[in-house]
């Protein structure tokens, strides 16, 4: 069993969906940690703004693409706060273009940031979860990993790969009290999505969504909090779609 005060690590937690996840896990009583890119000058400003809102988060520098950086991050975090009980692999990037125009650099960048990062971070904490008999690994994928998307062969492949990773690892650790699950959000109203022109949102994106609106970051965060809870102990290896009905399986 996890202790009452769990340590939850959210990669890429500063802003957007990651920030909503951090807030929700903190509200659940967890000690919440996020990673930030090396050289990010806004870390203290973000931590301060969160503190003003009543949330005390910890932040550690980490390049999720780099194995040694991940190992150093988790070593320091564990020394300071204790072992990680909940890992949310949320960090990722896009480099959209048609396959005709895509080069190896932009293919590799997206595969490294979205898929290799899952291995790099999970590998640091999974054995400890197994040894303690409790743990949660939650991988944030995408609806486009399920259905594909024009101009996203790299991103769709990486996000689909995340769920293959989820299923295989879930089988290996199922008897050890550790669950591994995937969440595949659709279009969520983060700054990145709402920066799209209103015309494109109204004519191209919203019409694809049967609910007729963007999702809210808090709605995805609520699902993360459930998967991180004791109540979700019998749920593992799943890919949960939260996309307003845009893509159904």
36 is known as an active-site residue: no
Q: Which residues contact 148 (CB under 8 A, 6 or more apart)?
A: 156
Residue 32, H or E segment = strand 31-36
CA distance 64 to 153: 21
- Max CA pair span of the chain: 52
Find residue 115's DSSP bridge partners: none
- CA 13, 167, 134 angle in degrees (round to 5)? 65
CA distance 129 to 178: 7
DSSP 28-64: TT-EEEEEE-TT-TTHHHHHHHHHHTT---EEEE--T
Helix %, strand %, coil % of the chain (to 5):
50, 15, 35
Q: Are 58 and 51 in contact (CB under 8 A)?
A: no
CA distance 132 to 23: 26
Q: Are 187 and 193 in contact (CB under 8 A)?
A: yes
Q: Which member of 36, 58, 60, 155 is catalytic? A: 155
Would you please indicate which residues are annotated as catalytic (active-site) residues? 155
């Amino acid at each position: 069993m996890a202790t009452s005060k769990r340590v939850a690590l959210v990669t890429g937690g500063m802003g957007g969906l990651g920030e909503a996840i951090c807030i929700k896990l903190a509200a659940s009583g967890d000690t919440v940690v996020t990673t930030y890119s090396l050289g990010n000058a806004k870390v203290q400003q973000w931590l301060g703004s969160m503190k003003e809102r009543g949330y005390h988060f910890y932040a550690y520098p980490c390049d999720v693409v780099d194995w040694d950086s991940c190992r150093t991050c988790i070593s320091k975090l564990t020394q300071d706060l204790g072992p990680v009980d909940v890992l949310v692999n949320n960090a990722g990037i896009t480099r959209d273009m048609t396959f005709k125009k895509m080069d190896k650099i932009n293919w590799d960048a997206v595969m490294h940031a979205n898929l290799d990062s899952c291995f790099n971070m999970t590998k640091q904490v999974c054995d400890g979860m197994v040894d303690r008999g409790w743990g949660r690994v939650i991988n944030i994928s995408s609806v486009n990993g399920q259905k594909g998307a024009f101009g996203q062969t790299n991103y769709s492949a990486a996000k689909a790969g995340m769920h293959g990773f989820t299923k295989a690892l879930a089988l290996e650790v199922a008897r050890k009290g550790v669950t591994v699950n995937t969440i595949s959000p659709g279009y969520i109203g983060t700054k990145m999505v709402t920066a799209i022109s209103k015309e494109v949102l109204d004519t191209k994106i919203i019409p694809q969504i049967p609910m007729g609106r963007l999702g809210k970051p808090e709605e995805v965060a609520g699902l993360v909090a459930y998967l991180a809870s004791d109540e979700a102990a019998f749920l593992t290896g799943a890919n949960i779609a939260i996309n307003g009905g845009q893509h159904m399986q």
